[in-house]
Structure 1
Amino acid sequence: MNTSASAPFHLRGNYAPVFNEVTTDQLEVRGSIPVELDGRYLRNGANPITGESAHWFLGDGMIHGVRLREGKADWYRNRWVKTPFHENPTKPVIDLENPDFSSENSKANTHVVSHADRILCLEEGHVPWEISDELETVGPHSFDGRLDGSFTAHPKICPLTGEMLAFGYGFLPPTYLTFLRVSATGELVQQKSIDIPAPVMMHDFNITATRVIFMDLPVVFDLDSAMAGSMPFSFQRDNGARLGVMDRDRDDAKVQWLDIDPCYVFHPVNSYDVDDHVIIDVARYPSMWETGSGSFNTKAELWRWDIDTVAGKVTETQLDNRPIEFGRIADNRVGLDYQYAYAVSLDLANEETSDSQSGTIVKYDLAADRSSIWDFGDGRDPGEFVFVGKPGADVEDEGWLLGYVYDRAEDRSSLVILDASQPGEAPIAEVLLPQRVPFGFHGSWIWD
């Protein structure tokens, strides 16, 4: 592990990559794993094969997974997603002689989701990559060749229809944004071009039961900077910021654009309809990369956007002032009114001077306007936690939170299981892993 203070934050401490693909069976467990948990917890992250990368977002995708069954932890394994970079790790991320952003030239390092019996590793610049239940790479997945461009790392699976709603963004004219619809059985059935004026970094978006909402925010791609080898994104305040609301079920639907204060959002928490209004809760940064560097020099806080589609205006309200990221909710509440959200209280702006990702897990009760936390203690640092609902449960927070926690003293990680209805209580189970899991991005629970 790189401990040099001169190394970029994403290459030192527990951000540094691991280099061995490990398989360990019958893992040691502290506490009791709920017998209902029958499946796999998988999490993706950037893990540069060479040990070097220009930015945290540019490492090669690696999946870390734990298989749970009958109250036991059957296995842990980690595998690189074997994209073209696995065999040729020094090839350019952006090939300026052939800038094909719809190609298989993916890092596949940001998210891992399951839909229509496929497990997809996602990175927003290119097509998805499929892996098996055992985490072995199957190959690129372009929906039988129908996908014409890139595919977001943050699709939304509608709990009402089973559809996977998504989008792709690009850097070259004429099309900077495309809305995508994948049927519940996995067919790409719609690609709709959306007109926006500039090639912005649109990391995520929002859905409701009837609408999709795009975030046209002023982190803009600059081809000249990319060609010069410098940070290709910068916060361009003069570009403005706006939200685009579109009916999701009409092929001829128009986008209603509404201005908001300039800001940046990597990750919304959730969104839903209230008559003619759309409510969106987000982890909002006041700016991002305003100096043209790749530094995280601001912090995200929980805000709410209340979109009045009749009056054509947005009311912006701060809900909490602590730094948060990686907000998650129950999958069956995506795009619907909800009560509970879970996030990591984490200030990325401090990461460049720290060897740890210190933080807590926050539970928000949005109906009661209150919050509570889980604190894992000094030297124990959590990443994103996902909510897994108890089968048959009628209560929104009846279930568990699963995520990796790094122990600095032991220099290894564990899969921690929390009772989501009991904030502040000790974990109900902890699966000890044979190695550390570097801090990464997003994951999913996949039922067997």
Structure 2
Amino acid sequence: MDSTTLNPGLQFPDDVVFRGYAAPVRIEADVHDLEVVGQIPAALNGAYFRNSADHCYPPLLGKDIFLNGDGMVHCVRFENGHADLKTRYVRTEKFRRERQARRALFGAYRNAFTDSPEVAGCDNNTANTSMLWHHGKLYALKESGRPYELDPMTLETLGERDFNGALKSRTFTAHPKLDPETGECIAFGYNTEGVPDPWIEIYTIDPEGTLTRTERFEAPYCSMVHDMLVSRHYIAFVVCPMTSELERIQRGEPYWHWDNTRTTWVAVIPRREGVAQMRWFRSARPVFQTHTFNAWEEDGPHGTRLHLEHFITESGWLSQFPDLHDPSAEEKPPFGERWTLELGLPHDGFEVRRFIQHVGEMPAIDPRYAMKRTRHYWFGTSNTDLGPMLPWGPKGPPFTCLAHLDNETGKLDFWYAGADSSPEEPHFVPRSADAAEGDGWLLSMVGRRAENRTDLVILDALRLSAGPVAVVKFPCRVHEGFHGQWVNASALAR
């Protein structure tokens, strides 16, 4: 037997998920004193943590979706006008077992029936979606598993966490909400036993990190509940017809399918009274909630009005998961919608208003103003008046712009990233703790596709079209990511 037979080599498939700018990077590195064009604001002192899905090994089944990559965390540390880069994989159980075997052992996204026999019963959590900073700890999150704690200075994986045994569920959302007034973290899990079911569990974690409250409720059907909305007094879940069934998974089909024959529902739960006082509202059309801006309340003629602000599309995420009834269906773009629910009236309908007349995704607000009415909104988008669209990629059409909406004036302002450049999720950082709403900077990773390289761009959040305050240039490409988290230096020091 020759060496070629003993070691067939490691080769990723020639597929849109694994080639070109989307190809796995797999580099764990430290780069000190990144090149900076312009000047990093002196007050920008802290760390930007951002998560991504970066396949460590070629997929077990020959092909895979973008979402199923291993969690790779990128940290850019700002201090005294300097910036350093650190990248590390999250050492999940999946990662550790595959690293030891030197090959993929887990199969399709969230489908244990496609895994290798030697990892039967093992956790397939990739911890690849978002970051959470709360009670002085940093977590990497993926909605199909529990949080993984990381050392914020070294990015060393400290282990899976269950909040001292209080978290009984096997899942924890990638989109928890932080209450800027109480310091609480409100989170949830769905498919809590790791298989399709209609149950959703809500968690409240106090500022010291104690999981103080948990309760469950049953949705009308098993749904992908990727995000949620929290106002001062209410929690809202949008149950969308992105559905899952155990029998389909056992047949080796994708975990999720879009089924527009089902109704979209909204569950509204008072934060104090809990699920005992839950109400259901019915959407007039089947839609999918991608990500959320904010929720807030106001007094109306019939009692409390609850406003839910989020991006909504009339299809599922078809670039990742198929349409159950029409495999050739195309993904439709999301738009910003405000849903207004009259909680004082007995009917189950609600008013829908498109408040962002422009395609967009990856929403952001000033987090200090979460859970009450806000004026400023940021999101990723494209604007063909400024530059051409980029070709469809493994997670859909890439952005070419970042946008700011002033909801008081209705004005939209854009920053165009440049030819062959794709900004990712914008993240707002206030200029100071007591700065006015929106007064601060917008951070975004930008893919320089023609150069096969990545930048981190710093913009004046209220003057995007003025261009970057500073561009932090990476000497290489880091993998396209999802969601990030800013942590001030003072918080890191504590």
Matches within 5 A, 1:239-388: 239-251=262-274, 253-260=276-283, 261-275=285-299, 276-288=304-316, 289=318, 291-292=323-324, 297-311=331-345, 312=347, 313-345=349-381, 351-352=392-393, 357-388=398-429
Mapped partners of 2:334, 2:275: distance in 1: 35
Partner SS state of residue 10, structure 1: coil
TM-score (norm 1): 0.92
Q: What is the deviation of 1:263?
A: 0.2
2:95 counterpart of 1:80: no
Partner SS state of residue 359, structure 2: coil
Matches within 5 A, 1:46-445: 46-52=53-59, 54-73=64-83, 75-87=84-96, 88=98, 89-92=104-107, 93-96=110-113, 104-133=123-152, 134-149=154-169, 150-170=171-191, 172=195, 176-251=199-274, 253-260=276-283, 261-275=285-299, 276-288=304-316, 289=318, 291-292=323-324, 297-311=331-345, 312=347, 313-345=349-381, 351-352=392-393, 357-445=398-486
Partner SS state of residue 223, structure 2: coil
Q: What is the deviation of 1:51?
A: 4.0
- Residues 371 and 97 of structure 1, relative CA distance in 2, 3 Å threshold: closer
TM-score (norm 2): 0.84
Mapped partners of 1:68, 1:123: distance in 2: 26
Mapped partners of 1:294, 1:188: distance in 2: 44
* Aligned length in residues: 441
Q: Which residue of 1 aligns with 2:492?
A: none
| Kept in 2: contact 1:45–1:109 (CA 8 A) | yes
| Kept in 1: contact 2:290–2:334 (CA 8 A) | no
- Residues 173 and 13 of structure 1, relative CA distance in 2, 3 Å threshold: closer
- Residues 294 and 130 of structure 1, relative CA distance in 2, 3 Å threshold: farther
User: Deviation string for 1:276-312 (max 9, x for gaps)?
Assistant: 1111111111011462469872211111111111223
Partner SS state of residue 341, structure 1: strand
- Residues 255 and 66 of structure 1, relative CA distance in 2, 3 Å threshold: same
| Kept in 1: contact 2:399–2:424 (CA 8 A) | no
| Kept in 1: contact 2:216–2:275 (CA 8 A) | no
Residue identity opposite 1:435 in structure 2: C
- Residues 57 and 349 of structure 1, relative CA distance in 2, 3 Å threshold: farther
Mapped partners of 1:296, 1:176: distance in 2: 29
| Kept in 1: contact 2:94–2:123 (CA 8 A) | no
- Residues 438 and 241 of structure 1, relative CA distance in 2, 3 Å threshold: same
| Kept in 1: contact 2:22–2:394 (CA 8 A) | no
| Kept in 1: contact 2:149–2:161 (CA 8 A) | yes
Q: What is the deviation of 1:358?
A: 4.0
Mapped partners of 2:55, 2:328: distance in 1: 17
- Residues 354 and 394 of structure 1, relative CA distance in 2, 3 Å threshold: closer
- Residues 319 and 252 of structure 1, relative CA distance in 2, 3 Å threshold: closer
Mapped partners of 1:51, 1:34: distance in 2: 41
Q: Which runs of 5+ in 1 are unaligned?
A: none
Partner SS state of residue 85, structure 1: helix
Residue identity opposite 2:17 in structure 1: H
2:17 counterpart of 1:10: yes
Mapped partners of 2:72, 2:407: distance in 1: 34
Please provide the CA RMSD for this pair: 2.6
Q: Which runs of 5+ in 2 are unaligned?
A: 1-11, 99-103, 384-388, 490-494
Q: What is the deviation of 1:174?
A: 6.6
- Residues 392 and 232 of structure 1, relative CA distance in 2, 3 Å threshold: closer
Partner SS state of residue 384, structure 1: coil
Residue identity opposite 2:270 in structure 1: D
Q: What is the deviation of 1:237?
A: 2.2
Range with greater deviation from structure 2 (152-161 or 307-316): 307-316
Mapped partners of 1:147, 1:435: distance in 2: 39
Among the aligned pairs, what percent are the same residue?
27
Mapped partners of 1:391, 1:353: distance in 2: 38
User: Deviation string for 1:89-108 (max 9, x for gaps)?
Assistant: 4224432499x9x9854110
- Residues 300 and 29 of structure 1, relative CA distance in 2, 3 Å threshold: same
Mapped partners of 1:278, 1:97: distance in 2: 43
Q: Which residue of 2 aligns with 1:27?
A: 34
